[in-house]
Structure 1
């Protein structure tokens, strides 16, 4: 389901001509894998997200998600606070 939603989001952004990247959101739970945690709050292209989930066992028991982030004409996120909040959550998780 998560992959299908990502594929639909990619198709929609292309159809509408909107520049987007996808922010990786780790569940940030005690059982989260380190490589999943480290991606939290980072932006990736849709294809990079699909490729990552296709590698090894990244999809197995994964509770991560991703959300589209609109980019301006310079390729910068239009919602920098969203990314800052995710980074803050990651920092708090690492301190706990």
Structure 2
């Protein structure tokens, strides 16, 4: 088995957000997109933005085209949405 490969990775700095949207290829037909909190105090870890729980959840795609669409959508959310607390 090979190591995961970064397919796309973009920083997003907007307002008090310092995030990275990352999409990796784990195996053939398996891609994951994740949003990470890069702020020094990790103020947004565990919060929700664009359907992702920052630093905790990912969205899977079965091909590169779908993965890149998810990556674009995650970038738009990271730039434009305000992170919200997870509802209990």
Question: How does the TM-score come out when normalised to structure 1?
Answer: 0.31
Between Structure 1 and Structure 2, whose CA radius of gyration is higher?
1
Point out the structure with the larger helix share: 1
Q: Specify which structure has the bigger relative contact order, considering alpha-carbon pairs within 8 angstroms and separated by 6 or more residues.
A: 1
Question: How does the TM-score come out when normalised to structure 2?
Answer: 0.33
Point out the structure with the larger strand share: 2
